[in-house]
Amino acid sequence: MTEQTETPRTGLGSPVQRYTVGKWHDLPNYQCTQCPFSTLDKAEMEEHWQKVHAPKPKPRRVVPQLVDRFGNPLTVEETDDG
């Protein structure tokens, strides 16, 4: 049984080994390196990795825009109260 590895680059610096490829009845068997999941379908393995193991993006800080009752944006004017 020949075992191969798929190690795509993540863009975060170092490569991440997502799965190994073995054989099951002469078919390629994709085995997740992070959990017991395995499948005969490479696309299904990629989908599994994206849903379960891919790094989550950092949440963006949302600053709400203040609007008046008509939906016009409000701006804050700095005053010099001396």
Would the pLDDT of 5 be above 60?
Answer: no
The string of pLDDT tens digits covering residues 12-30 is 445 678 899 999 999 999 9
* pTM for the predicted model, two decimal places: 0.55
In this predicted structure, what is the pLDDT of residue 52? Answer: 92
Residues 22/44, Cβ–Cβ less than 8 Å: no
Q: What is the CA radius of gyration of the chain?
A: 25
Would the pLDDT of 4 be above 60?
Answer: no
Type and span of the H or E element at 5 = strand 4-6
Number of helices (H) and strands (E), helices first, in the chain? Answer: 1, 4
The string of pLDDT tens digits covering residues 35-62 is 999 999 999 999 999 999 888 888 888 7
Q: From CA 82, how far away is CA 75, in angstroms rounded?
A: 21
